[in-house]
């Protein structure tokens, strides 16, 4: 068993019911405590540094190794997760996209979708998207039978609308629509982003206390939809930026969405060429050092582990899409 590691992935960690967005699917802090109780009882929690050392052949993993990772750089991770991990002496890995840290901070498209869905509900959100740009939907529909006819939009579910925004529409068009709807329903993006994402002093404080940070692209676009130059632009600045924020020597990476079709062999080459240490997917199984390449390390969603799989009632945790 010294050759495998259970890498757990988390997203939103908050008591959503007490926030202005009760529909955001988050893991409540009390449940992450229970999951960590289980992880610490059944596993040996390691740091990313220990996993990297094992991949480099400098050390062996302990039996039942496990590592906890947190995507998207939410302020949740400072407020709810960091105190818990510090109290338990656990080192977590936190993945940041850069766009929220640029001159005028922006909410990532994936999160605009989550908050608009939470605010409007799936049907009203789908209808709003349709109204915002009917010609784009017609154009998409004309070229592709597998996408969604306008008539089907009346009862669009969450999956359908996410698929359209993530895969169906050109990036610029999806972004334009989300920006318009966000401004209309949720207000200015800049102040929302400042309340949603970790601040730089928080990141520095967490790093100083033994937490590790990795990169999650510049703007959280689906890398497999980009050509090589566009992917290069999404990935090239991450190592230097995370080093500057944290003082870390090594910088890991995590693919947005992270399924097998969300990146390409070209992505892996760019990561290797730009000095990243390892990269994580969201393919749901344990890391096996005897077969997994360092730029395609699988992770298991928190919802696939106790207390969620014991049959006990639980609020569903956050989702990767």
The pair of structure tokens assigned to 242 is 């995370």
> Are 67 and 74 spatial neighbours (Cβ–Cβ below 8 Å)?
no
Give the nearest distance from C-beta 110 to Zn ion in angstroms. 6
> Are 118 and 21 spatial neighbours (Cβ–Cβ below 8 Å)?
yes
234 lines the binding site for Zn ion (CB under 5 A): no
* Closest CB to Zn ion among residues 4, 321: 321
Partners of 7 in the beta sheet?
67
* Closest CB to Zn ion among residues 4, 281: 281
Partners of 20 in the beta sheet?
none
> Are 282 and 320 spatial neighbours (Cβ–Cβ below 8 Å)?
yes
User: Which segment (46-54, 122-130, 156-164, 251-259) binds Zn ion by CB under 5 A?
Assistant: 251-259
* Closest CB to Zn ion among residues 214, 256: 256
Number of residues that bind Zn ion (CB under 5 A): 3
User: Which segment (32-40, 177-185, 254-262, 283-291) binds Zn ion by CB under 5 A?
Assistant: 254-262
Counting Cβ atoms within 10 Å, is residue 131 exposed (0-12), middle (13-18) or buried (19+)? exposed
* Closest CB to Zn ion among residues 220, 294: 220
Give the nearest distance from C-beta 44 to Zn ion in angstroms. 27
* Closest CB to Zn ion among residues 9, 287: 9
> Are 249 and 138 spatial neighbours (Cβ–Cβ below 8 Å)?
no
71 lines the binding site for Zn ion (CB under 5 A): yes
d(CA 102, CA 129): 27
Give the nearest distance from C-beta 198 to Zn ion in angstroms. 13
* Closest CB to Zn ion among residues 61, 100: 100
Give the nearest distance from C-beta 71 to Zn ion in angstroms. 4
Alpha-carbon 250 to chain mean position = 20
Question: What are the Cα distances from residue 247, in Å, to 207, 208, 240, 250?
Answer: 8, 9, 10, 9
> Are 13 and 76 spatial neighbours (Cβ–Cβ below 8 Å)?
yes
By CB under 5 A, the residues from 202 to 221 that bind Zn ion are: none
User: Which segment (28-36, 72-80, 113-121, 228-236) binds Zn ion by CB under 5 A?
Assistant: 72-80
Sign of CA dihedral 117, 123, 126, 131: negative
User: Which segment (71-79, 126-134, 163-171, 235-243) binds Zn ion by CB under 5 A?
Assistant: 71-79
* Closest CB to Zn ion among residues 27, 54: 27
Give the nearest distance from C-beta 55 to Zn ion in angstroms. 23
173 lines the binding site for Zn ion (CB under 5 A): no
* Closest CB to Zn ion among residues 189, 262: 262
d(CA 74, CA 64): 28
The pair of structure tokens assigned to 204 is 């520095």
Q: From the list 72, 173, 292, 296, which residue makes contact with Zn ion (rule: CB under 5 A)?
A: 72
User: Which segment (138-146, 255-263, 292-300, 305-313) binds Zn ion by CB under 5 A?
Assistant: 255-263
Single out the residue of 174, 29, 200, 206 nearest to residue 108, CA to CA: 174
> Are 314 and 33 spatial neighbours (Cβ–Cβ below 8 Å)?
no
User: Which residues of the shown chain bind Zn ion in the complex (CB under 5 A)?
Assistant: 71-72, 256
């Amino acid at each position: 068993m010294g050759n495998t590691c259970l890498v757990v992935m988390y997203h939103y960690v908050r008591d959503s019911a007490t926030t202005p967005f009760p529909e955001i699917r988050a893991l409540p802090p009390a449940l992450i405590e229970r999951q960590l109780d289980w992880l610490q009882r059944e596993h040996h929690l390691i740091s990313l540094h220990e996993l990297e050392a094992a991949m480099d052949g400098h050390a062996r993993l302990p039996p039942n190794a496990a590592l906890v990772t947190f995507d998207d750089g939410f302020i949740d991770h400072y407020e709810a997760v960091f105190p818990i991990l510090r109290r338990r002496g656990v080192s977590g890995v936190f993945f940041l996209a850069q766009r929220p840290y640029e001159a005028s901070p922006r909410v990532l498209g994936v999160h605009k979708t989550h908050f608009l869905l939470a605010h409007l509900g799936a049907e009203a959100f789908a209808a709003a998207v349709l109204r915002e740009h009917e010609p784009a939907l017609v154009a998409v529909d004309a070229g592709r039978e597998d996408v969604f006819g306008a008539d089907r939009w009346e009862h669009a579910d969450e999956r359908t609308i996410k698929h359209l925004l993530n895969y169906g529409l050109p990036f610029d068009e999806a972004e334009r629509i989300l920006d318009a709807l966000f401004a209309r329903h949720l207000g200015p993006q800049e102040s929302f982003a400042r309340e949603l994402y970790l601040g730089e002093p928080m990141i520095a404080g967490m790093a100083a206390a033994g937490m590790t940070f990795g990169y999650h692209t510049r703007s959280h676009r689906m890398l497999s939809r980009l050509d090589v130059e566009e992917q290069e632009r999404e990935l090239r600045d991450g190592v230097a930026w995370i080093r500057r924020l944290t003082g870390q020597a090594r910088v890991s990476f995590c693919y947005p969405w992270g399924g097998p079709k969300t990146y390409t062999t070209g992505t892996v080459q760019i990561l290797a060429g730009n000095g990243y240490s390892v990269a994580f997917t969201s393919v749901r199984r344990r890391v096996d050092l005897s077969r997994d390449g360092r730029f395609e390390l699988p992770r298991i969603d928190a919802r696939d582990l106790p207390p969620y799989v014991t049959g006990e009632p639980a609020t569903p945790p956050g989702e990767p899409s």
